[in-house]
Amino acid sequence: MIRDLRKNDKSEVLELLTQTKNFSSAEIEIAEELIDIVTTKPEQLDYFAYVAEVEDSEAGSRVAGFLLLGPTPATTGTYDMYWIAAHPDYQGRGIAQALDEHAVRFVRDRKGYLLIAETSGQPSYERTRAFYAKQAYETLARIPDYYKPGDDLIIFGKRV
């Protein structure tokens, strides 16, 4: 089940992001800041966050995936997907795909037409890039040495 992020989901989401082993501590701090914005300022319209919740026989209800997106400033109809991640225990079970489908519906419901996702060119992000390709995103740009020397920014986009 995909639902709105709640304030009490924060620790599970941060643990999920940590467990993927793809995000730096600085990136996780940014995620925490955005989670706080979403959960403490309901009037803001810049960021929207969702979780995929699953029933686990051992743990009960558990956050298995995280999505955060929002309208791209100074555009009409373009949205940025800031975060999409599935907990490693649930990868390969369609969690990220369901979150991506939710993102597409979110954008369409707001009369948007373009969903942008950015990621790293590092080998450890190969699975992420393959996911975007499988979900029909196109590579729109590659900026060499963007994050640091040898770590390119790859920008994916999907018309929805």
Q: What is the number of structural domains in the chain?
A: 1
Range 56-85 average pLDDT:
92
Percent of the chain whose pLDDT exceeds 70 = 99
* Whether the predicted pLDDT of 57 surpasses 90: no
> Which residues lie below 8 Å from residue 101, measured CB to CB, with a gap of 6+?
none
Mean pLDDT of the chain: 95
CATH number at residue 103: 3.40.630.30
Q: What is the pLDDT of residues 131-160, one digit of tens each?
A: 999 999 999 999 999 999 999 999 999 999
> Which residues lie below 8 Å from residue 132, measured CB to CB, with a gap of 6+?
117, 119, 156
Secondary structure (3-state) at 14 = helix
Range 28-35 average pLDDT:
96
Contact 49, 4 (CB under 8 A): yes
Count how many Cα atoms sit within 13 Å of the Cα of residue 36 in the half-sphere of its side chain. Answer: 6
Domain that holds residue 125: 2-159
pTM above 0.85, yes or no: yes
Distance from C-alpha of 103 to C-alpha of 87, rounded to nearest angstrom: 18
